[in-house]
Every structure is written in structure tokens, then in C-alpha cells.
Amino acid sequence: MPSLPTPPSPNPDSASFSGGDALGLSGLTPAFSPLYQQIKGLILQSLQSGEWKPGEAIPSEMDLAARFRVSQGTVRKAIDELSAENLVVRRQGKGTFVATHAEQQVQYRFLKLQPDNGDTQSEGPAERTIIDCKRLRASADIARALSLRSGDPVLQVRRVLAFAGVPTILEDLWLPGAPFKGLTAERLSNYHGPMYALFETEFGVRMVRADENIRAVNPDAEQAKLLHVDLKVPLLSVERVAFTYNDTPMELRRGLYRTDTHHYRNALS
Amino acid sequence: MPSLPTPPSPNPDSASFSGGDALGLSGLTPAFSPLYQQIKGLILQSLQSGEWKPGEAIPSEMDLAARFRVSQGTVRKAIDELSAENLVVRRQGKGTFVATHAEQQVQYRFLKLQPDNGDTQSEGPAERTIIDCKRLRASADIARALSLRSGDPVLQVRRVLAFAGVPTILEDLWLPGAPFKGLTAERLSNYHGPMYALFETEFGVRMVRADENIRAVNPDAEQAKLLHVDLKVPLLSVERVAFTYNDTPMELRRGLYRTDTHHYRNALS
DNA sequence: CAGTGGTCTAGACCACACT
DNA sequence: GTGTGGTCTAGACCACTGC
């Protein structure tokens, strides 16, 4: 562990990082991991606790290095990983900022559906219509996806997204009741911007990553009606579980995508 | 640029990297990029030229540092990026190896379809059947996807993949004729392992990344028959363009996936 | 044991942004 | 100019691998 009273020296203690423990937090960190990983964990805790809010700058690398008693390079490597995971954004000359779903060029970071002509700009913003929004008790499968117990209160929302007047996406989504106390159809409707941005500003819930599970299906009668398609039209079924920090699931979303004018795009590497 | 005769010194010349030019290759590299990016480009050239073959180890970081006359840290950062792009695999204590589609735990790196129970192991390897394999002239859309001209020779393959006896994937794929001269249905059938591994060993073509474009569709009569499904069953249409180095497209693949027992899995971050 | 990648430090300078 | 992130170097030591 970095010894606290060691101002300017090769700090041989820091070199023996194995089992090291930044800031002397023995017992809190399981230790036996690289120093920069421990630093990453500490920064993650601060992000999680809301010490720095989405869109705000975090302290400079030098400041963090001083705070954690490590070199700037070690802090840099920690931030490198956080940046690679899209948790923070670096801006040369300005600082490092907490990532947010608002104010980004890409309005919908997790939406991989795009128009066939590829021009996301020309089609303009999606027209959103809240079909339904109510509180109910979680069924078994919803509870499992959200790591709740069957019967726990959840918020269920159904909405349609249209592009150029054509309804293209029908989404049902479920949110755990507790963290989203006070969310209503009206607040969803009045908010202009990505839903995940609203979750950030109003409920302090930041979606960090998500898993999607895709199938081809036919709509049922109600779904077909809402999307203005025939019962026989094949649609993309996209089931998404979105996670906050610590891999905590905070949303289950079941989307039906029309793929006659749009397609789901994915980059493999 | 790193001055050649500068054995042990702070090497202030290397520090002025802007417009630097590793190894004095002025004219070959566009310059005006970070040193480590130039090094990355040089390593990339060696990978591309086949100086190190898939599965082989590349020289150690120290060797490369000496060869390019830069510090180990700079080589490290270049390799870091190549590793992040899956072009190379690091193994502590052993070395850094050229990535390959063979000999990896994940047999099919680019195939995102997996069984609903999630157990890729238990279902065993895919049973492959070549339906068709012939040479013909590229149609307009095939030519465009492969950056060829209409009428250029291409190889067309149709095959079915089955899991546990259930035909699940029907693929049509097109390859540019020139690089794949000598590829026949027989060689495809006799080869055991991922198709991309055969491309590497037999034709020196390494697929490095791919773009996929997904829709929901109904099969035509022939497709339905090959997949043993009804005409009304919705299927996933997955169009993939796979690229070698330099973003050169080398394969167009149109897959039809059954999603009654499997699903397409995607991780967003 | 030697060789490899992995971690950590310290100091220098560059590129960019704001003031 | 000052402060930020970005690049580069040099040297040290740790952890893993295989002889």
C-alpha cells in the first residue's frame, strides 16, 4: 500500500502493489489486485454515490493522484478503463466528465435501430406516444429479470415511437417501483430527450450497460394495431435488460421493431 | 522522430513526437500522429504482410522497442490498442500472439446466435451441410458490398447449420473470386473447424471485423424447406459484411436464423 | 533460472481550452 | 499564461511461464 508519509521518493512501498490497498482502506477492498484497479474502484464508488453528477467534471488526474497518494500515471490507467467502459468522457484541455445519456451527439445510445438510408439526422427526432403507464405487482419473469421478488411493486410503461409519422417501435418497459417513485405518464410525456436522461436527472439512476436478446416474431392483435401493421408482418423482438453500477438490473424493456424501413445495426470485432 | 544514434539519454528528440516518424520512414507514414500510433501502423503492416502468422508469437515488447528505436512503453501502448481490437492476444509470461479464428475457446467469434438455455457447450458443435458452391459473376448488389465491379467473378456458397439435428441457420455467402481461387465444396466439407479458420490457413485471409444488419423476415419456399419450417414462421435475417485489414470487405453473408430455440445476443455498453 | 508481459513511478514536454 | 488531458521515456519491480 502507498505509505502515507512519503512525499518525494521512489516509494518502493507502492511498487509492492500486490495486496496493496490504496488509502489504507484495508477490509473494504478485497486487495490483491493492481493499484490502478483499486483506484478505479474508488472512483467508481464516488461516481455511484453521486459525488460527481452526470455531465460534471471529475477532479483532474493530478488532484486524484494526490488524493489517493499514487502517481498520475496510475490514476490515468484507472480513468482509461472507465473511459473505455463509457462511464466517463475525456476532453483534452478541459477535463474528464461523468458520462450522461443527455447532451450527447448520439441521442439514443442503446438504440441500434436505424433508417435503411443510414441518415439518422434527416429523419428527425422520434415522435413519442405514451400508451400506458401504471403501477402493478411484478410477475415471476419480470421479477427475475429485475432481481426482485414476485409481487414487488413495479412501474409498467407502454409507448410507441414513430419516425416521419410511421409508428416503428412499440416498447413495454418495467422499472422497479422503489427507485422510480413519483414517475408518471405526464412526466414522461412532458420530458423532451432520451428517457435514460430523465432517469438520471430526476431519479439519479444512470444506465451503464445493457444486454439484448433478439428474436423474430409476429405481433398479436393489439401490437399490430399500435404499429399499424398486419398480423402476418414479421417483427424484431428485442428484450433488453439495462444495468446501473454494480451490474444491478434497473429496467426490463421489450421492444417490437418494424424492419421494413429500418434495420438493427451491429458492429462485430 | 527518434534520432537513430541516441543510446542512453532523455532523447528530447523523441519527445517532439508531433510530426515524428518512426524508423525514418518519411513518406511511407503520413506522420503527424502520436509515435505509438505510427508504431501500431508498422506492426499492422507486418501482420498484414504475413511476417507473423496467425497463432504465432510476435517479437517481445523489448525487441520491438529496439527495432523501432522507441521505448518499451510506447510499443506497449501500440500493442494495447491492437489487443483491444482483437488483432493480437497477450499471454502473460509467454508473449503476444497473432489472433486467429481457430484454437480459441469461442469457436465462432462472429456468431451471436446462442441456445436459449445459454449452454453453448452442451449443444455440441454445429452439424454443417454444404448445399451449394459455385462460381458466378457478381450481381450489382453483391459487387457493391464487396467493393467489386458487376460481373467480377465471385464464389457463392449455401450451407445449413444444424444443432442437435435441428436445422437452425441457413447461410448464403459470397467471396471475391481472386483471393479464394481453389476453394471448393469438397474442401469446405472436409475442413473441421470454423470457416474463417480455413480462410486463414488456406488462403491467408484473416477476417478482422464485421458489420451486421438485422431484420425480421419470412422465408421463401426453398428457404423454408431447408430449415424445415413453415412459410409463415418469422426468421432473423442477418446480413454480414466481414472485413480484412484496411477495412477491405472480403465476404458478404446472408443468414437466416431460426429463433424458436435460439436467440441473437448482443451486449451494449 | 531467464524471459515475457504487467504494474508503478517520476519527470518531461506537447496539444488544447479557457481567460 | 495556466491548467487540463495526451504522449514519451527510463528504470524498477512483480507475476507468470517454461527450461
Closest of A33, A64, A62 to residue A51, by C-alpha: A64
Which nucleotides of chain C have an atom under 7 angstroms from any protein CB? 3-18
What is the mean pLDDT of the segment spanning A125-132? Answer: 94
Report the C-alpha gap between B227 and B240 in whole angstroms.
19
Q: Which residues in chain B have Cβ-Cβ distances shorter than 8 Å to A234? A: 216-218, 234-235
CB B22 within 8 A of CB B42: yes
pLDDT at B195 over 50: yes
Per-chain mean pLDDT for chain B: 88
- Look up cell 413495479; give the residue: A154
Interface test mutation site (partner A, options B111, B215, B231, B239, max chain A beta carbons within 10 A): B215
Nearest-Cα distance to chain A for B28, in Å, is 27
**Which nucleotide has the least CA–C1' distance to A34?**
C7
Q: Which phi and psi (to 5°) does residue B88 adopt?
A: -150, 150
Give the pLDDT confidence of A24-55 residue by residue, as tens digits. Answer: 433 333 446 899 999 999 999 999 999 999 99
Nearest-Cα distance to chain A for B223, in Å, is 16
Give the pLDDT confidence of A188-242 residue by residue, as tens digits. Answer: 999 988 999 999 999 999 999 999 999 999 999 999 999 999 999 999 999 999 9
Q: Which stretch of DSSP H or E encloses residue A222?
A: helix A221-227
Q: Which residues in chain A have Cβ-Cβ distances shorter than 8 Å to B267? A: 209-212
Give the pLDDT confidence of B157-177 residue by residue, as tens digits. Answer: 999 999 999 999 999 999 999
Report the C-alpha gap between B208 and B205 in whole angstroms.
9
What pLDDT, on a 0 to 100 scale, did the predictor assign at position B125? Answer: 87
Residues 6+ apart with CB under 8 A from A139: A150
Q: Which amino acid is at A103?
A: E
A92 lies within 8 A of chain B by CB: no
From the list A86, A259, A267, which residue is nearest B216 (CB)? A259
Report the C-alpha gap between B142 and B154 in whole angstroms.
9
Proximity of residue B70 CB to strand D below 7 A: yes
A221 lies within 8 A of chain B by CB: no
> pLDDT grade, residue B123 (50/70/90)?
confident
Name the CA dihedral angle for B125, B129, B130, B132, rounded to a multiple of 10 degrees: -140
pLDDT at B189 over 70: yes
Cα→Cα distances B2→A235, B37, B68, B73, B203, Å: 57, 14, 9, 14, 37
CB A173 within 8 A of CB A131: no
Q: What is the distance in angstroms between the CA of the first residue and the CA of the last residue of chain B?
A: 37
pTM score, two decimals? Answer: 0.88
Residues in chain A, overall count: 269
Residue contact B268–A217, C-beta within 8 A: no
Proximity of residue B34 CB to strand D below 7 A: yes
Q: For residue A204, how many C-alpha atoms fall within 13 Å in the half-sphere facing its CB? A: 10
pLDDT at A14 over 60: no
What is the mean pLDDT of the segment spanning B104-113? Answer: 85
Cα→Cα distances B226→B194, B205, B221, Å: 21, 29, 9
Report the C-alpha gap between B175 and B116 in whole angstroms.
31
* DSSP symbols for chain B: ---SS--SS--HHHH--TT--GGG-BTTB---S-HHHHHHHHHHHHHHHTSS-TTSEEPPHHHHHHHHTS-HHHHHHHHHHHHHTTSEEEETTTEEEE--SSSSSSS-TT--EEETT--TTTT-SPEEEEEEEEEEEPPHHHHHHTT--TT-EEEEEEEEEEETTEEEEEEEEEEETTTTTT--HHHHHH--S-HHHHHHHHH-----EEEEEEEEE---HHHHHHHT--TT--EEEEEEEEE-GGG-EEEEEEEEE--SSEEEEEEE-
* DSSP symbols for A86-133: TSEEEETTTEEEE--SSSSSSS-TT--EEETT--TTTT-SPEEEEEEE
Q: Which residues in chain B have Cβ-Cβ distances shorter than 8 Å to A236? A: 214-216, 236
What is the mean pLDDT of the segment spanning B122-151? Answer: 95
- Per-residue cell: B45: 503492416
Residues 6+ apart with CB under 8 A from A87: A44, A47, A98, A99, A208
Nearest-Cα distance to chain A for B45, in Å, is 19
**Residue A114 bridge partners (DSSP):** A263
